[in-house]
Amino acid sequence: MPDAPLPFFDAIVVGAGAAGLFCAGQAAQRGLKVLLVDHAEKVAEKIRISGGGRCNFTNRELDPRAPHKHFPGENPNFCRSALARYTPGDFIALVQKHGIPFHEKHKGQLFGDRSAEDFIRMLLAECAAGGVTHWQPCRVESVAHGADGYRLQTSRGEVRSRALVIATGGLSIPKIGATDFGHRIAQQFGLKVVPLRPALVPLTFDGGAGRRSPGWRVWRCRCALRPATRSSAWPSTKTCSSPTAA
Ligand SMILES: Cc1cc2nc3c(=O)[nH]c(=O)nc-3n(C[C@H](O)[C@H](O)[C@H](O)COP(=O)(O)OP(=O)(O)OC[C@H]3O[C@@H](n4cnc5c(N)ncnc54)[C@H](O)[C@@H]3O)c2cc1C
């Protein structure tokens, strides 16, 4: 008997976090046959913990004509076309369409009134509206590109697609699914990767402070910055009035 043809999709999106869910839903609603793959048990674990559990989902003060002003980095223009074509106003309209209540905290920051779960349900509903196929948990073992598009070996078998989207997020919090998959794929396809530096640094506490309930804030703390070698003077200690300043 001849082998059954490999499943084929117009686009495969790897990573069912905020970016992957949104991308899969948008592409599918434009008529593409889309497969969304994630290795974790649950979708969008980072949305679940975002904004202290309420999800800081956009900022009203972002200037859609010059979005790059708000994004520091080696290439601030990177976000320009995406954020000029899909503005905070567009996302607010989507949130309103799903009846999610929200409020502004300060400087244009918008948070959900209830829980970040509202935003996960919204993104899943957008995927369902487009008929996205969802494989989860599913490991991607390898990616190859040839004349017939992309071929992925996964824990659910081999699959092909015309386009591939890598939306596997950053490295923070591996215990909820973060991996360096995106960086490895970038290297495999010869894309330039800038040296990685931590952007989020967790503060950990011993003793009494750590036993308090989650969600509390530290308003006055002392931070000691220690260089990797002991040759220079250390520690440098700073008193901070907010976690952000730390
Ligand atoms: C504590 C915390 C609070 C935050 N709060 C906010 C906030 O309020 N507002 C905000 O805008 N941002 C917030 N962020 C930043 C937030 O992480 C991003 O905005 C958003 O979650 C990034 O989405 P993403 O889809 O790029 O990545 P992620 O949400 O990390 O999704 C990546 C997905 O890819 C999957 N994946 C990873 N590796 C593989 C692999 N090898 N194979 C298959 N699947 C894989 C993961 O399981 C995950 O589901 C917060 C971050 C943290 C850590």
Q: Is residue 111 part of a domain?
A: yes
- Based on the domain organization, do 111 and 212 belong to the same domain? no
Decide if 16 contacts 43 (C-beta within 8 A).
Answer: yes
Residue 29 in domain: yes
- The verdict on the CB of residue 50 being under 6 Å from ligand 1 is yes
Say if residue 224 is in the same domain as residue 163.
Answer: no
pLDDT surpassing 90 at residue 217: no
The string of pLDDT tens digits covering residues 94-125 is 999 999 999 999 889 999 999 999 999 999 99
Question: Which residue's entry shows tokens 């009203």?
Answer: 60
- Domain residues for the domain of 52 are 8-188
Judgement on whether residues 43 and 128 belong to the same structural domain of the protein: yes
Ligand 1 contacts CB of residue 172 (under 6 A):
yes
**44 CA to middle of ligand 1, Å?**
7
Q: Is 166 in the pocket of ligand 1 (CB under 6 A)?
A: no
Looking at the CA of residue 17, tell me the nearest atom of ligand 1.
31
Q: Which residues pair with 73 in a beta bridge?
A: none
Same domain, 135 and 215: no
Closest by CA position to 152, among listed 27, 22, 29, 7: 7
d(CA 109, CA 86): 17
pLDDT given for residue 211 in this prediction: 57
Closest CA to 21 of 124, 90, 92, 115: 124
Same domain membership, residue 222 and residue 134: no
**One domain for residues 215 and 168:** no
Is the pLDDT assigned to residue 149 strictly greater than 70? yes
Examine residue 194 and state whether it is found in any structural domain, yes or no.
Answer: no
pTM here is: 0.86
- Around 156, how many Cα atoms within 13 Å sit in the side-chain half-sphere? 14
Same domain, 182 and 219: no
Q: Which amino acid is at 44?
A: A
Burial grade of 150 (CB within 10 A; 0-12, 13-18, 19 or more)? middle
Of the residues 43, 141, 165, 168, which should be mutated to test ligand 1's pocket, given the most ligand atoms within 8 Å of the CB?
168
CATH of the domain at 116: 3.50.50.60
Please state the atom number of ligand 1 nearest to the C-alpha of residue 58. Answer: 11
Rounded average pLDDT over 150-164? 98
Residue 127 Cβ contacting ligand 1 at under 6 Å: no
The atom of ligand 1 lying closest to the CA of 170 is 30
Q: How many domains does the chain have?
A: 2
pLDDT at residue 232, as a whole number: 46
Evaluate: CB of 88 within 6 angstroms of ligand 1. no
Tell me the average pLDDT across 60-75: 81
Specify the DSSP class assigned to residue 62: -
CB 130 within 8 Å of CB 33: no
- For residue 26, pLDDT over 60 is answered with yes
CA distance linking residue 238 with residue 245, whole number of Å: 10
